[in-house]
Amino acid sequence: MATFAASGLKKDEGIKVVPPAVKAAAGSFGGVMEACFLQPIDTIKTRLQLDQTGKYKGIANCGQTVIKEEGVRALWKGLTPFATHLTLKYALRMVRRPTHAPPPPPAHMTRHATPCHPTQRLSHGPSRTLRASTRRRRRMVFC
């Protein structure tokens, strides 16, 4: 395991630090799995988009036609660049992710906070704004 000093955590917090290599491997594996499951759908989508002759009648028909004419492996054409892209993307994303959860919000923020700015109040609807203004007269609102 990585050292606590490298992660900026104190030893008494009791949090296990996951090494970046493990996180990168997990992200890479997730990228490969996503590519393997999404590639057939992406192949069918691309063929439908490029179909100018009206060869395919829909998604299911396109998939069946590709399998009949070219075989099942044709659904995974172009897998290598797609898998490489997703592997690198998720490996880097997992390495950048913090190893520990952010601290919990302060107690006054855990309640359903009422927006303090007038433009925020508009997005919460008129009835909620009216309730907020009556509550504000009774007690302090944290903004």
Q: How much is the pLDDT for 107?
A: 63
Rounded to whole angstroms, how far apart are CA atoms 2 and 13?
A: 15
Other Cβ atoms less than 10 A from the Cβ of 95: the count is 15
Q: How much is the pLDDT for 141?
A: 47
Place of tokens 């998939």: 63
Rounded to whole angstroms, how far apart are CA atoms 37 and 21?
A: 24
In a domain, 45, yes or no: yes
Is residue 14 domain-shared with residue 76, that is, in the same domain? yes
Number of domains in the chain: 2
Is residue 72 domain-shared with residue 8, that is, in the same domain? yes
Fill in the DSSP letter of residue 7: H
Is residue 79 domain-shared with residue 120, that is, in the same domain? no
Is residue 91 domain-shared with residue 111, that is, in the same domain? no
Is residue 56 domain-shared with residue 124, that is, in the same domain? no
In a domain, 128, yes or no: yes
Q: Which domain holds residue 112?
A: 107-138
Is residue 115 domain-shared with residue 70, that is, in the same domain? no
Is residue 73 domain-shared with residue 127, that is, in the same domain? no
Is residue 117 domain-shared with residue 67, that is, in the same domain? no
Q: How much is the pLDDT for 4?
A: 47
Is pTM beyond 0.75? Reply is: no
Is residue 126 domain-shared with residue 89, that is, in the same domain? no
Is residue 25 domain-shared with residue 89, that is, in the same domain? yes
Q: How much is the pLDDT for 1?
A: 46
Longest CA–CA separation in the chain, Å: 74
Q: How much is the pLDDT for 140?
A: 47
Per-residue pLDDT of the chain (143 residues; tens, 9 = 90+): 444 455 555 555 666 778 888 888 988 999 999 999 999 999 999 999 999 999 999 999 999 999 999 999 999 999 999 999 999 998 988 888 765 666 666 666 655 555 555 665 555 555 555 555 555 555 544 44
